[in-house]
């Protein structure tokens, strides 16, 4: 079984540019989550999809971030325009069950560097 796939693995962009991160969950996993770790800080929840619907986007930092999951398969996270403080590692995870009790499978992350 393929795991959670994220790409690009690393992106370096200039402040003010747009970047789109992609996550392909495990096939059949309706639940998809985005987390991020800003340098040296904790890993924070961004949002949760159930199929194509946003179940909870309370962790999205501001309206420069837009997440989509058209068709309930892969998801994209767009940052527009990117700011320096957006630098960090963005993780995607998927799970079968909606409750956290089943555990997540994480992707390898996208390291975003805004210069």
Is cis: bond before 81, omega within 30 of 0?
Answer: yes
91 is a site residue for another protein (CB under 8 A):
yes
Q: Which of 42, 63, 70, 71 binds another protein (CB under 8 A)?
A: 42
User: Which part of the chain contacts another protein (CB under 8 A), choosing from 15-23, 44-52, 69-77, 78-86?
Assistant: 44-52
Least CB distance to another protein at residue 6 (A)? 8
33 is a site residue for another protein (CB under 8 A):
yes
113 is a site residue for another protein (CB under 8 A):
no
* Alpha carbon distances (Å) from 82 to 43, 55, 61, 66, 90: 19, 25, 12, 12, 14
Tokens of 84: 């320096």
35 is a site residue for another protein (CB under 8 A):
yes
Collapsing DSSP to helix, strand or coil, 98 comes out as coil
């Amino acid at each position: 079984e393929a795991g959670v796939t994220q790409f690009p693995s690393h992106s370096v962009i200039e402040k003010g540019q747009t970047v789109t991160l992609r996550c392909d969950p495990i096939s059949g996993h309706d639940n998809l989550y985005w987390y991020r770790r800003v340098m040296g800080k904790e890993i924070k929840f961004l949002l949760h999809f159930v199929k194509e619907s946003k179940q909870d986007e309370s962790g999205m930092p501001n309206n420069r971030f837009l997440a989509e999951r058209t068709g309930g398969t892969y998801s994209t996270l767009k940052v527009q325009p990117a700011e320096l403080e957006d630098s960090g590692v963005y993780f995607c995870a998927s799970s079968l069950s909606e409750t956290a009790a089943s555990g997540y499978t994480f992707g390898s992350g996208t390291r975003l560097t805004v210069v």
